[in-house]
Amino acid sequence: MKKIAIYPGTFDPLHKGHIDIIRRAVGLWDELYIAVADSPHKGTLFSLEERKAMIQNEFEESKNIKVISFNNLLIDLASSLSARILVRGLRVVSDFEYEFQMLGMNRTMNPDIETVFLMAEPQYQPISSNFVKDIARLGGDISKFTSLNVTNKLKEKF
């Protein structure tokens, strides 16, 4: 049976920390769904379609990566895709508390679904979408933090 994993997030926008986690995850499981959260309450800079398109652009060569969107519970999404693994990236200590609670509550709702935490290379760990957007907004160089395509998309926005 195929081992299917889901990497959920807001990806507003995709950056090199995310890309590092995706490369690691795709080497571990047969199929990886990158699930982009609709998150209308978060007031994202990029629309759902824009966020998906930026990820698709980065991984169009990878046959075992699929980019989807979701607006339901992660455990329900996992069940509908026959996925048993949720991938999350861990950066700073402050991520831990939120992730700990999310894992605990997801496990209570569905004990068959396992959350796996991966860490990016040290140089990519401090990157966050919010800082990438702030730096871009102020005219800074973000090319070390994200791909050329996303860098250009951010330039268009500001």
> Which residue's CB is nearer to ligand ADP, number 113 or number 127?
127
Q: With binding defined as CB under 6 A, does residue 10 bind ligand ADP?
A: yes
**What span, in angstroms and rounded, lies between the C-alpha atoms of 149 and 126?**
21
Provide, rounded to whole angstroms, the least separation between the CB of residue 57 and ligand ADP. 16
Site for ligand ADP in 56-95 (CB under 6 A): 88-89, 91, 95
The correct pick among 4, 5, 6, 9 for binding ligand ADP (CB under 6 A) is 9
The correct pick among 4, 6, 11, 33 for binding ligand ADP (CB under 6 A) is 11
44 touches 133 (CB < 8 A): no
DSSP string, 23-73: HHHHHHSSEEEEEEE--GGG--SS-HHHHHHHHHHHTTT-TTEEEEEE-S-
**What span, in angstroms and rounded, lies between the C-alpha atoms of 11 and 157?**
16
Question: Could you list the residues that contact ligand ADP (CB under 6 A)?
Answer: 9-11, 17-18, 21, 88-89, 91, 95, 120, 124-125, 127-129
